[in-house]
Chain A
Amino acid sequence: MNLVVDSVSKSFPGVKALDGVSLDLAAGEIHALMGENGAGKSTLIKIVTGLYAPDSGRVLVDGEPVAFASPRDALAAGVSAVHQERNLIPRFTVEENILLERLPTRRGFVDYAAVNREARRYLALLDGGIDARAKVRSLSVAQMQIVEIAKALSLEAKILLLDEPTASITEHETAALFKLLRRLRDDGVAIVFVSHKLEEVFALADRVTVLRDGKNVATGAPMAEMTRQRLVSLMIGREERVAQIGERRVDWSQVVLEARRLSTSLGHRENSFALHRGEILGLYGLVGAGRSELAHAILGAGRISEGELLIRGEPARIADMHEALTKFRIGYVSEDRKQEGLILMHSVMDNVAITLWRRLAGFMGLINPRKEARAVQPFVDRLEIRTPSLDRPVSNLSGGNQQKVSIAKWLAANVEILIVDEPTVGIDIKTKTYLHELIGGIARDGVSILLISSDMAEMITLADRILVMHGFRIVGEVANDHLYETTSKAIMSRIHALNETEPAAAD
């Protein structure tokens, strides 16, 4: 089957998401769909699968115009999608989720033996080691992603649309997914693949369509003729700029945060590190290595089981984020800004000032709104948060600007230690460069930063030293010479050395 999108337009209140966009997808190809955030990729996928109706233009399957009224219609016609948002039912098992809308029955009852058999067939294709009988809510984010893909596969779709399927899965799972996608392609399935990771696109795709601001800037260009630079400049509309981090002076004599043989109830074993004043200490590892969990354990809820935590040289235990902020002057930028970083329906002002309210309260505990705006505005200006006014809800902001808001609240609170977790996940190239410069600037001002990231290039751009984490343990430290070649090799060798000595963790 082939799919043609013919000059489709779609507007939402105040924004034209798609403006005459076209795409042609042939049977037996993997077609990359690229573009910055807000370029219209997800909207296009939602139109093809019937979640949105286009304002104008046509969608054709095998030359016939189609107008799916719902994803169910699209599925019946052999068009299946994996969206960025999770669409799983947490309390149901993996196998039930995979076969949800067509559970096999025997004499009117669900035939669980058949459910299990079917589900395991598709899970095996992905090689993710997931128990089909496990409840979805007990899985990691990466495992849930695998289940979503298995579900799409199980529908035997002839047209498969994958919206950032690799955003949160491990390299091992990605490799298995790619092997599978290539096999599906060879079987004649037409695949649309959305990813921000250029390496993946070059490794996988046959052709590429690039959107910018809701318009085509490349339509079905062969990947063989495409270079990395050309693709990036198509996406951002100009040449890529290298982040200017500048010189920083780390005060190696002052340790602000130190872990001594820290073990946690989450499974960390004897982790030690020291963060210095003005330093950016990288904590690198693949998804599932236990990096975010280590940050959570440090930040409270009594999950440290053994070892010592020292803050500015004093032994400390942090009860919760409230104490982390007020007593220890530590901030935390969460990797999940929508769920954990922001109050989406509230204003930019509220989201930044939330860390300040107690300090701003004056006579009778009242907060002067003008004083509040004066406290917030400089940070909105400094971080170049693009918003028409401070009263605008953050849900109206772009992903990059939302991330700036979730950083701004900690700068406004004047923290001395900032734990930053995957600051640029799902953020486009232009804003990413800006955020890197921002984080560098914060460290230059004397704030100590613990940077958690699985983005190797980001680590090498920003960090002074890089700790490598694997299996809930810090397995090595790499001095960063800011050269991608040497440092990335040093990091990977730490991880690989480990895989060879630990047969249990081998592939």
Chain B
Amino acid sequence: MNLFRRLLLVEWSGLAAAIVIGAGALALIAPNFLTEFNIYVMLRSLSVGLLVAFAQMITLGVGQMNIAVGAIGGMVAIAFGGAMEIYGLPVGAAVALALAIGAAAGLINGLLIARTGINAFIITLATASAFTGINFGITRSIPFYKMPPTLVAFGDQHLSAIPYLLVAPLAVAALLGLFFSRTAPGRQLLAFGGNPHAAELSGVSRERVVASAHVLSGLTTALAAVLAVAQLGSAQPTIGADWLLLSFAAPIIGGAALTGGYISVFGTMLAVFLIGLIQNGMVLAKVDPYWVQFVLGALILAAVGLNRWRAVNSGAA
């Protein structure tokens, strides 16, 4: 087997290569790509995306899906904004409230799935509609604009090209990496994703695993919503409306098994980075933003194609 084939078998090799080539090409054709400001803008918009991708990655790990990521995001965002604007809660307390709501939404999903045995896709499709209903029922589609200045400032601050916002997803990535590789609940979650029946018969508690996966997913989604509010400077009811595609695209491009039991935190990060790079490049090249959707679709197909090729060539299929 030649070196190229062997490199292709390493799961994130394709991603890393695509990022290097893409960034190199952009640096050549768009002189303003490598400016501090542009990189800051790009990384800032990635911060929310990373958390959204992690939220879905967790449910993919347990072999399920969370169609409600966007809906939980929107609901948490307006609860977070409303708590500060209407009830005058300090930022810290409002963040705690936001995280609690995200976790509770995840717990509802997880318990419904574990106790009824109904497919996660159906359950979260239904709760997604319900959560979106709560969101628009409360706000009547009107955003909360009066966000505390400290929060808005935090959303803008940066150390040269690194936005402060990026700290949150990086910390979550480190924690998730540790969780999945080094803790009992994390390992059990992946074991359950790999073969629910065998894991259960090995003494893994189904209800605990499924509930914890969805609670974690809800928590991560809530943090994404908080970051989105800080980034936008207002709590828009439409936050989360466009998260679903990215949430699946990134973990899958990053090498996650759709059948569960295998995920890559690092691969997911690279995938979000690549998607951000493509979006940024298309803006710089003044391409109609709607075409970003098209490119994302093509990218998912390419990624699952590569995964399939890898499975066949490593003898796993």
Main secondary structure of the interface of B (DSSP, over half): helix
Classify chain B: how many residues form its interface, as a range.
20 to 34
Distance of A390 from chain B, by nearest CB (Å)? 14
- The verdict on A250 contacting chain B, using a C-beta distance below 8 Å, is no
B137 interface residue, CB < 8 Å from A? no
Partner of A343, one of B178, B184, B199, B203: B199
Contacts of A354 in B (CB 8 A): 187-188, 191, 199, 202-204
Stretch at the interface among A49-57, A319-327, A422-430, A469-477: A319-327
Q: Is the CB of B194 within 8 A of A345?
A: yes
Q: Does A16 contact B (CB under 8 A)?
A: no
Q: Indicate if A365 sits at the interface (CB-CB under 8 A).
A: yes
A486 within 8 A of B: no
| Interface CB pairs A-B, < 8 A, 18 | A13-B314, A13-B315, A322-B200, A322-B208, A325-B203, A334-B198, A339-B195, A341-B198, A343-B194, A343-B199, A346-B261, A350-B187, A354-B187, A354-B202, A355-B203, A360-B184, A365-B184, A367-B182
Instruction: List B contacts of A321 (CB < 8 A).
Output: 200-204
Bound Cα distance A403, B173 (Å):
36
Q: Is the CB of A365 within 8 A of B313?
A: no
A357 within 8 A of B: yes
Residues of B within 8 A of A393 (CB): 316
A-B pair count, CB < 8 Å, reads 90
Which residues on B sit within 8 Å (CB–CB) of A409? 202
**Further pairs besides A339-B198, A341-B198, A367-B184: 9, Cβ < 8 Å:** A321-B204, A334-B198, A340-B201, A350-B191, A354-B187, A366-B178, A367-B187, A369-B182, A396-B315
Interface membership of A14, Cβ < 8 A: yes
User: Roughly how many angstroms separate A367 CA and B201 CA in the complex, as a whole number?
Assistant: 22
When distances are taken between beta carbons in the complex, the residues of chain B under 8 Å from A332 are 201
Q: Measuring CB to CB, which residues of chain A are less than 8 angstroms from any residue of chain B?
A: 12-14, 320-322, 324-326, 332, 334, 339-346, 350, 353-355, 357-358, 360-361, 365-369, 393, 395-396, 409, 413
Report B-chain residues with C-beta under 8 Å of the C-beta of A344: 194-195
A90: min CB distance to chain B, Å: 16
Chain A CB within 10 A, most for which of B185, B187, B188 = B187
- Flag whether B45 is at the interface (Cβ < 8 A): no
Given the complex of chains A and B, what is the CA–CA distance between A325 and B200 in angstroms? 11
Q: Considering the chains assembled together, what is the distance between the CA atoms of A312 and B239 in angstroms?
A: 58
Q: How far is the CA of A357 from the CA of B202 in the complex (A)?
A: 11
Is A361 a contact of B183 with CB atoms below 8 Å? yes
Q: Is the CB of B197 closer than 8 A to any CB of chain A?
A: yes
| Chain A residues with CB under 8 A of B181 | 369
Whether, in the assembled complex, B262 has its beta carbon less than 8 Å from a beta carbon of chain A, the answer is: yes
Contacts of A355 in B (CB 8 A): 202-203
User: A404 to nearest B CB, angstroms?
Assistant: 15
Q: A345-B316, A346-B261, A365-B183 are in contact. Are A326 and B195 (CB under 8 A)?
A: no
